[in-house]
Amino acid sequence: METKRAQRKTGTALALATLQLSACLGGAPVEPNLGEADLRVLFVGNSLTSANGLPLMVQTIAEAAGHTFAALEITANNSSLEDHWYSGVAQYIRDLEPDVVVMQQGPSSLPESQVHLRQWTATLDAVVKEVGGRSALFMVWPEDARRFTAFDDVRQSYSDAAEAVDGIFIPAGEAWREMWELDPAAPLYGFDGFHPSYLGSVVAALTIYRMLFDETVTGLPPALSPTTAGLPTVVLEPDEATRAQQAVEAAVEQWGRR
């Protein structure tokens, strides 16, 4: 078993590699730089954020809706916000000066996990505010085995953490639940019953876009094409896209906080 110190060292390397790869969209690694855009966002999280290229999906949606959007991610498997803190994320925030830092860790549904999420959200938020940015909490979801028992606790945990720092609450997990209300068979979980499927990531990406830009996703086309070369096209079946948009709007209306 790795020691905590070894885990943090590994996490640092993974985070830097991910950041550099996101920055260059598949080219040679470059010095991380968010550049100029309508909105400049740093994603800090783990594989629930990196799965299916979620930050790039958000960028595609923003560009398809007529915005410029700069996104970088610092992600490492199984990492919490505490792990990112000890891996040096504060310096990246200071160097990049993002408008928004979207934070995410595990479901954080247990009482001690809720305390942990609030504590480390506040720690990172102090640096975010230092550079004039704002924190956003990306509510994820519990594993499929706890689908019917833990969603409320996950929402409460992330909502409380956002409220404590006057941040943005992104109810992506609640958008999943709304999607199941419309289509109980919607395949939002991936093969392992925890990480998102492609559809699950698209619903989350639409929710993030909806909260960051405060613009409805209703009426967006089922195929969303970016203006930046190298970004993915985000495509759903027409009926599926309509349900996803309805789910996002319902979740944001009830739970979203800006």
pLDDT tens by residue, 134-182:
999 999 999 999 999 999 999 999 999 999 999 999 999 999 999 999 9
Residue 14 lies in a domain: no
For residue 189, what pLDDT is reported? Answer: 98
Contact 138, 49 (CB under 8 A): yes
Instruction: Tell me the mean pLDDT in the region 104-109.
Output: 97
Query: From CA 42, how far away is CA 167, in angstroms rounded?
Result: 14
- Above 60 in pLDDT, residue 84? yes
CATH number of the domain encompassing residue 127: 3.40.50.1110
- Residue-level pLDDT at 250: 98
Residue 71 reports pLDDT greater than 80: yes
- The pLDDT > 90 percentage for the chain reads 85
Position 30 pLDDT exceeds 50: no
Q: How many domains does the chain have?
A: 1
The domain in which residue 236 lies consists of 34-255
Residue 19 is predicted with a pLDDT of 53
> Does residue 23 belong to any structural domain of this protein?
no
Reduced to 3 states (helix: H, G, I; strand: E, B; else coil), residue 212 is: helix
59 within a domain of the structure (yes/no): yes
The reply to whether 175 falls in a domain is: yes
For the cut 60, the answer to whether the pLDDT of residue 236 exceeds it is: yes
Sheet containing 134-138: order of strands = 69-75, 39-45, 100-103, 134-138, 168-170
Q: How many other C-beta atoms can be found within 10 angstroms of the C-beta atom of residue 174?
A: 27
Would you give the distance in Å from CA 41 to the centre of its chain? 10
| Average pLDDT taken over every residue of the chain | 90
Please state whether the predicted TM-score (pTM) of the whole model is above 0.75.
yes
Whether 10 is in a domain gets the answer: no
Rg of the chain in Å (alpha carbons): 17
The more confident residue out of 29 and 79 is 79
Tell me what the mean pLDDT of segment 209-237 comes to. 97
For residues 52-58, average pLDDT:
97
Give the integer Cα–Cα distance in Å for 109 and 117: 10
Residue 2 has pLDDT above 80, yes or no: no
Q: Output the pLDDT for position 34.
A: 86
